[in-house]
Structure 1
Amino acid sequence: MTKPKVLISDKMDPNAARIFTERGCEVDVKTGMTPEELKACIGEYDGLAIRSSTTVTPEIIAAATKLKVIGRAGIGVDNVDIPAASAHGVVVMNTPFGNSITTAEHAIAMIMALARQIPEANARTQAGEWPKSAFMGVEVTGKTLGLIGAGNIGSIVAARAQGLRMKVIAYDPFLTPDHAVEIGVEKVDLETLLARADFITLHTPLTDETRNILSAENLAKTKKGVRIVNCARGGLIDEAALAQLLASGHVAGAALDVFATEPAKESPLFGQPNFICTPHLGASTTEAQVNVALQVAEQMSDYLVDGGVSNALNMPSLSAEEAPKLRPYMALAEKLGSLVGQLAHGNLTKISIEREGAAAGLNGKPITGAVLAGFMRRYSESVNMVNAPYLAKERGLEVSDVRHEREGIYQTLLRVTVATEQGDRSVAGTLFGTDSPRLVEIFGVGIEAALEGHMLYIVNEDAPGFIGRIGTLLGEHDINIGTFHLGRREAGGEATLLLSVDAPIPAEVIKQACALEGVKLAIPLAF
């Protein structure tokens, strides 16, 4: 078996390469490449490990014909075109926890530096002055800290601030009341936070919803004398408006580690009173650099070698421990999705995935992804679990996952149903043993079969002589039958035949099969 091949294109801790090797990957380290050099060599690799220096453009992704995963050692993925990666079926991962403590500590350091004006006091003292009366700071004890974003980093900042005896309030649409209690913060809306906070610190990603969240309008709503810290992402604050409020004294101080444009060679904030800035140092500690490098190597190796998916931005997570258990279910799901996609015709607008028995207790998202991967091959051959949901969304396909607690005749069962112009059409399957996928029902007809290779699906009248006629037709064209599966609704009614053959059936033979007496439908299948 060929080992997955990984390229590390940015400088990172050398232990990352060691982990890739130990976990069964080949690894090349080529840093400092130009985009043209990267584009020229990326076609050799299954994985690409980066930090912030490499920009992964649509052109590079298009050239990466073998690429399966991009791993960003760090949180921000602004340098990766995620839609392009998703369209090409490439998983994009980051490492959101490897530098959380480091970034949170930097935010706390900025708060303290603002409160006591440490950078300016240091500069003037080293210049030979002794400006003791020029710097009157404030205590943080008893002050209200407003968190915009209370995720992993925000929660750590909250804990550190509580240790400084600050009161912490938080605005985060995803923060549940129970988790707010757990981390000891008061959940508020944005208007309340702006009005009450003595210090505001941002810990949210840059999205369409959060871009300029501290706009000129919102900055004007802040409490006079507020101090603002941003160690998250550039673009969350209107920097020109913040500069004006610093100059007017409405904002008593601001500390930024990130800017809308980086490197920040110029800014309206430069030179403003009590403004502190650092060159995107939030993750810059020895510990964090080691942690994110090791974490990205572990995550990418898990995916390339074992199929585990962690911290993916465009695919459901699937731990390396879950992967072996879910793999046969995903194989069954993909085959059922492929089957219904090949058989159901017309404009399909809805697909439902139902799980019962043992399947009901599993992680449903990878199963749904596998169904869509099989189903969407009716539209494109280059489909996998990463890009299938995007293709489904583009086509307006409504997807639902239904979990049933009930017990049926099978210990585990998956059912895939699509809405067609003729009504709902469903197929169902189970596992024999623990890892052998089997079809057990097709469009309401019970039929047991393995879905593999080249097959022929026939709907015919249940009458004597038909099996002989279809066998004779295939034999006349030297088409060997591997397996033969029959099902019917009732004696003398409509019957279903599903057979496997050793090679693709020519279109002319399919046409002749459709012309046989009693045949209503004949469709070739491939798995």
Structure 2
Amino acid sequence: MKVLISDTLSKNAVSIFQDRGIEVDYFPNLTKEEFKRVIPNYDGLAIRSNTNVDKEIIHLAKKLKIIGRAGIGIDNIDLEAATSKGIIVMNTPHGNSITTAEHTIAMIMSLARRIPEANLSTKQGKWEKSKFTGTEIFGKCLGLIGCGNIGSIVADRAKGLKMKVCVYDPFLTNSKSNELGVEKVSLEQLLKASDIISLHTPMTETTKYIINNQNIFSIKKGAWIINCARGGLVEEKALFEALKTNHIGAAAIDVFEKEPAFSNILFESQNIIFTPHLGASTLEAQEKVAIQISDQISDFLLNGSVINSLNTPSVNKEEAVILKPFLKLSELLGSFLGQVKVRSQNIKSVKIEFDGIASNINNKPILSAIFYGLLRNYFDNVNLVNSTSVAKQKGLEISTINHERKVDYQNLVTVTVNYENYSREISGTLIGNKIPRITAVQGIPIEANFSSKTLYVRNFDKPGFIGSIGTLLANNKINIGSFHLGRRDDSGEAIAIISVDQHIDNNLLKLIQDLEHVVRVDYITF
């Protein structure tokens, strides 16, 4: 395994990789052309904000399995391209939370006491004491747009300064808001009531320009706006106009729509202070995120654990050990159903049922494995990272059921694929919690291994079937490795799963299909 660190990170990050037996190259000053030339050699990539991992880089990264961002923002990573390529993208959302929250408070205090202007004036030999009369923040209402890791710390610090805190966050529960001692409000209420508005939300399609030219003038006149989160949450042109008319009393901006911000319309504004994206820039925070991301990348490459992933379910170290055989079983179940599909109809829905031990484990990675096995028979570029997203994009209805019932196996996973008029179903277990095994197909009990070359036959339970198919295979020099039978009681409906040692071509498959009593035959490879 080999990892590239392409931004400036703590030397401890390099040591962590080396101590865990992972080869690491530390090249923090690569040009774009140099980066393009070397990236095909690496399994992992550790970056901060200076490295731009665009679609072209991802295309060239033939071996890349994981991109780790030491920090929160991933504006410099093409997440869609990485997901499509099956590359996991992870960050360190907690490592710089305190640092960014403290920067927010520092920005508020700098506005309140007009520290930047007073500092400049004093250095110029002036003594303009009366010019820089400040504002107390005691008793003022701080409105937080977003109250996650950073927002909740800002709320705590603000309450320590005896501010009132109201929050707009659709994901904040009532119990959490009560615990924080904040008031949950709508965005409209927050804009009208707040003396100071601070943003602490990710940049998404729904949050882009959450403060814009349509709502900025509904903000309480004279209020301040603080943005230490993401450029693009506040529409810069709208803020410029609101500052120009004094509707917004002041602003403090650490992040910009385009960075580095060598020029910006807001630079022409009065009553605004800027910092060059310093929210996470403390020695302590940089050390934390460097250590965290090197540990996370190492854990994934060595153990398969996925922490703080942005495009696939997270799996901790302990779960990774338990899940590994389940992921293999699930992929095989999906692959089986993908190869015995109803050829003339589209999939409408997929139901996954869990019994025994399987009902008590993290099932999100299992869904990814099932859909990877299933959908790679329909679409190109499906992988373990994007499979569930692809299923949802194609309009598949997905349901899961965790059963609490007695079953014949310690663990059991059942997958049902529903078409317009038909359905396909398979159940499987892990023997000794390690070896994948089929336990039923179409509700018919049958025990069989997942062999690399398999015939799946649906037939009528009549004398002569076993002899006729055995003879046909022998005449075509096909050796049978194992022959498993199952039937639905007293119905005449039966199935066979036959492991073979040689490849079955289409001509032989047609001869099997033409045998008496055969309803359908599929040649399945795993």
Pairwise TM-score range, normalised by the shorter structure: over 0.9
Name the structure 1 match of 2:227: 230
* CA displacement 1:34-88 (0-9 Å, x = unmatched): 3332222222211111111111111221121221111111111111111111111
Alpha-carbon distance in structure 1 between the residues aligned to 2:503 and 2:45: 37
Aligned-partner SS, 2:286: helix
> What does 1:351-500 correspond to in 2, within 5 Å?
351-380=350-379, 382-490=381-489, 493-500=492-499
Alpha-carbon distance in structure 2 between the residues aligned to 1:94 and 1:413: 34
| Partner amino acid, structure 2, of 1:518 | H
Pairing 1:123–2:158 present: no
Name the structure 2 match of 1:210: 207
Pairing 1:314–2:331 present: no
Name the structure 1 match of 2:508: 509
TM-score, reference length from structure 2? 0.96
Q: Which moved more, 1:400-409 or 1:207-216?
A: 400-409
Pairing 1:32–2:32 present: no
CA contact (8 A) 2:338 2:378 kept: no
Gaps of 5+ in 2: none
Shift of 1:212: 1.1
Aligned-partner SS, 2:280: coil
Shift of 1:438: 1.4
> What does 1:103-252 correspond to in 2, within 5 Å?
103-252=100-249
Alpha-carbon distance in structure 2 between the residues aligned to 1:520 and 1:234: 62
Post-superposition, which runs of at least 4 consecutive aligned residues in structure 1 deviate over 4 A?
none
TM-score, reference length from structure 1? 0.96
Name the structure 1 match of 2:334: 337
| Partner amino acid, structure 2, of 1:360 | S
Shift of 1:90: 0.9
| Partner amino acid, structure 2, of 1:429 | G
Q: Which moved more, 1:241-250 or 1:40-49?
A: 241-250
| Partner amino acid, structure 2, of 1:481 | I
Q: Which moved more, 1:350-359 or 1:18-27?
A: 18-27
Name the structure 2 match of 1:257: 254
Name the structure 1 match of 2:263: 266
CA RMSD of aligned residues (A): 1.6
Shift of 1:173: 0.9
CA contact (8 A) 2:144 2:168 kept: yes
* CA displacement 1:400-420 (0-9 Å, x = unmatched): 222222232333211100112
CA contact (8 A) 1:69 1:90 kept: yes
Gaps of 5+ in 1: none
Name the structure 1 match of 2:38: 41
| Partner amino acid, structure 2, of 1:358 | I
Aligned-partner SS, 2:230: coil
Alpha-carbon distance in structure 2 between the residues aligned to 1:87 and 1:193: 38
* CA displacement 1:360-391 (0-9 Å, x = unmatched): 11112111111111111212465332021232
- Equivalent in 58, 61, 65 of residue 61 of structure 1: 58
Aligned-partner SS, 1:304: helix
Does the C-alpha gap of structure 1 residues 381 and 500 become closer, same or farther in structure 2, counting only changes over 3 Å?
farther
CA contact (8 A) 1:86 1:386 kept: yes
Shift of 1:422: 3.5
Alpha-carbon distance in structure 2 between the residues aligned to 1:500 and 1:380: 27
* CA displacement 1:149-207 (0-9 Å, x = unmatched): 10100001111111111111100111111111111111111111111111111101111
Alpha-carbon distance in structure 2 between the residues aligned to 1:494 and 1:37: 63
Alpha-carbon distance in structure 1 between the residues aligned to 2:474 and 2:386: 41
CA contact (8 A) 2:367 2:388 kept: no
Aligned-partner SS, 2:353: strand
Aligned-partner SS, 1:472: helix
Name the structure 2 match of 1:76: 73
Alpha-carbon distance in structure 2 between the residues aligned to 1:185 and 1:32: 44
Name the structure 2 match of 1:520: 519
Name the structure 2 match of 1:326: 323
Aligned-partner SS, 2:267: coil
Shift of 1:116: 0.4
CA contact (8 A) 1:117 1:274 kept: no
Name the structure 1 match of 2:99: 102
- Equivalent in 10, 14, 17 of residue 17 of structure 1: 14
CA contact (8 A) 1:86 1:390 kept: no
Shift of 1:270: 1.8
Shift of 1:275: 1.1
Aligned pair count reads: 524
Alpha-carbon distance in structure 2 between the residues aligned to 1:22 and 1:515: 62
Does the C-alpha gap of structure 1 residues 424 and 359 become closer, same or farther in structure 2, counting only changes over 3 Å?
same
Does the C-alpha gap of structure 1 residues 174 and 372 become closer, same or farther in structure 2, counting only changes over 3 Å?
same
Alpha-carbon distance in structure 1 between the residues aligned to 2:22 and 2:79: 24
Q: Which moved more, 1:436-445 or 1:104-113?
A: 436-445
| Partner amino acid, structure 1, of 2:167 | A
CA contact (8 A) 1:87 1:390 kept: no
Q: Which moved more, 1:127-136 or 1:507-516?
A: 507-516
